[in-house]
Amino acid sequence: MDTLEIGTAAADSTPRPQSGPASYAMLINGEWVGASDGGTRTITDPGNGDVLATVPEATAEDVDRAVAAARKAFDEGTWKADDNAQNRAKLLLALAASIRENAARLAELDTRNNGKPLAEAEADVSDSAACFEYYAGLATKVMGETVPVPMNMLSMVVREPVGVAAQIIPWNYPLMMAAWKLAPALAAGCTVVLKPSELTPLSALELGRLITSLDFPPGVVNIVTGAGEVAGAALSAHPDVDKIAFTGGTDTGSLIMQAAARNIKRVTLELGGKNPVVVFADADLTNAAEWVAFAAFANQGEVCSAGSRLLVERSVHDEFVGRVADIARSIKLGHGLAADVRMGPLVSAEHREKVESYIEIGKAEGATLLTGGKRPEGETFAQGNFVEPTIFTDVTPDMKIAREEIFGPVLAVIPFDTEEEAVRLANDTEYGLAAGVFTRDISRGHRVIRQIRAGITWINNYHPTFNELPWGGYKKSGIGRELGKYGIDAYLETKQINVYLDEAPLGWYVS
């Protein structure tokens, strides 16, 4: 397989690859293969429109082959065995080390393919390596228990891998989402078919290269590239897949759950959010303003946990929103590889149109456009999918921009007068992924956060994410949790074993 030769970023220029597009294959049963019908897809850089690579466009037949390889590796191989746990741990540690050795290359690749600023991509790569390290540790700590029961029985509970896991990931954190999916599944002893987003498959394929350079048995990790409607749908409906793990939009999550229902696959879903950030008047407004901007605009706002609804106590509304707007206006936009850039392009032209359509809806609904709302001007931005950091004030809770996930750099601000009103507004959403509260009154911070129905919460900060802690949402934001010890649970079945220690007969039929 060719790999992309990545050029060096010149400060403030729009960096370009040194060589032409690379041609990638996909990973099935330990081999790099093309699509069964020879189909390919072109992958581009959203910051300048450059063609980066071509990748195979998997057919349903390719998905069948990948699932068959994973099935065979699970059913007939030794990967899942208890006495292979130490080996799984060693391989995951080796993979983490290999990611760290290739960190610069992987970060540059994610920036080129997704658009995110290089500093964010570097953090993603480091977190990805740490995720494999964390689950390497857990691989040897999957434990059961013995339970006292009547009848002189030795009763045990053991945990076993769920089987073949299909994993479908989005485009906003291409490498990190692959790590969040693969690491717990492999630690548990599952075998895997991973499908990256059709927009951002390159770092997952490079991760596959690192995997094939280690001693993972063929078929344990398979990576298919292609369209959600074809490869993703085939995976979700496949009768030989035991579990499906998905991160992406809520509508797609619903489709996947419906497909999974046909053979009662285990399902975990990490879906969207319209996450509230509550700022009380007594907060440290200087620090809070930067966190709030980070909540809304990090990764171009293309984050399921983005703090996209700002609820501000009315007495400090104008002052606080002014501070956040000043920060928004100071954010340097550009190609993610250019120096000092803090916001890159959106992932695709199509996605930018979606975000821009929400900006138009916001204006039409009567919200006030405080800052942003348009494409930045200038030659640097001409070929990329850029949108300025955008803040709407005078937003009411019924407006679409207050209710729907925009998944871009658009912040909707709503004032409140009382703590009760803040809680009610925070919970006035069909989602329940994340939330933040800013106050110097720690009792109130705790009281408010406990009343907000969301799975990931922060007090006096926003966004720090740890491999050690559970990630997932309430309500329409998903089912189940990734990361932490909860993440490996999602890949384990629970079995009871009862050993009869008595010599007395059953005495039910025979007296």
Just list the catalytic residues.
270, 304
Q: How far is the CB of 167 from ligand NDP (least distance, A)?
A: 10
Q: Does 407 bind ligand NDP (CB under 6 A)?
A: yes
Name the minimum Å distance from CB 252 to ligand NDP.
3
Helix (H, G, I), strand (E, B) or coil at 172: coil
Total residues at interface with ligand NDP (CB under 6 A): 27
Residue 201 as a binder of ligand NDP (CB under 6 A): the answer is no
CB of 294 to ligand NDP, least distance (A): 17
Candidate ranges 125-133, 190-198, 211-219, 460-468; the one touching ligand NDP (CB under 6 A):
190-198
**Which member of 48, 59, 191, 252 binds ligand NDP (CB under 6 A)?**
252
- For ligand NDP, the binding residue among 405, 415, 431, 456 (CB under 6 A) is 405
Three-point CA angle 98, 103, 293, nearest 5°? 135
Q: Which span sits near ligand NDP by CB under 6 A: 2-10, 39-47, 111-119, 226-234?
A: 226-234
> Of these, 128, 222, 247, 380, which contacts ligand NDP (CB under 6 A)?
247
Cβ-based neighbours of 188, under 8 Å, separated by 6 or more: 139, 142, 161, 162, 488, 491, 492
Residues 432-471 that bind ligand NDP (CB under 6 A): none
Nearer to ligand NDP, 98 or 172 (CB): 172
The residues in 254-293 that bind ligand NDP, with binding defined as CB under 6 A, are: 255-256, 270-272
CB 245 within 8 A of CB 185: yes
Per the listing, tokens 């094939």 go with 212
**CA-CA distance, 152 to 154, in Å (whole number)?**
7
Distance of CA 202 to the CA centre of its chain: 16
Calculate the alpha carbon distances from 486 to 40, 188, 306, 470 in Å. 37, 12, 22, 6
Q: Which long-range contacts (CB under 8 A, 24 or more apart) does 32-39 make?
A: 32/1, 32/212, 33/62, 35/59, 35/62, 35/226, 36/61, 36/62, 36/65, 37/61
Name the one range near ligand NDP by CB under 6 A: 4-12, 167-175, 338-346, 449-457: 167-175
- 228 interacts with ligand NDP by CB under 6 A: yes
Query: Which among 269, 265, 277, 213 is positioned nearest to 239, based on CA atoms?
Result: 265
User: 98 vs 167, which CB is nearer to ligand NDP?
Assistant: 167
Distance CA 322, CA 384 (A): 28
Q: Quick one: which of 14, 111, 222, 236 contacts ligand NDP (CB under 6 A)?
A: 236
> Does residue 170 belong to the site contacting ligand NDP (CB under 6 A)?
yes
For ligand NDP, give the closer residue by CB, 227 or 459: 227
Taking the least distance from each CB to ligand NDP, the nearer of 294 and 416 is 294
Residue 232 interacting with ligand NDP (CB under 6 A): yes
232: which DSSP letter? I
Structure tokens at 15: 């960096």
The yes or no reply on residue 60 touching ligand NDP (CB under 6 A) is no
**Contacting residue, 248, 372, 384, 389, with ligand NDP by CB under 6 A:** 248
| Contact track, ligand NDP, 478-497, x by CB under 6 A | --------------------
Which contiguous run of DSSP H or E holds residue 248?
none
* Longest alpha-carbon distance in the chain: 93
Single out the residue of 496, 495, 499, 467 nearest to residue 483, CA to CA: 467
Q: Please answer whether residues 188 and 245 qualify as being in contact, where contact means their C-beta atoms are separated by less than 8 angstroms.
A: no
114 near ligand NDP, rule: CB under 6 A: no
168 binds ligand NDP (CB under 6 A): yes
HEC string for 255-296: HHHHHHHCCCCEEEEECCCCCEEEECCCCCHHHHHHHHHHHH
- Contact set with ligand NDP (CB under 6 A): 168-172, 195, 197-199, 227-229, 232-233, 236, 247-249, 252, 255-256, 270-272, 304, 405, 407
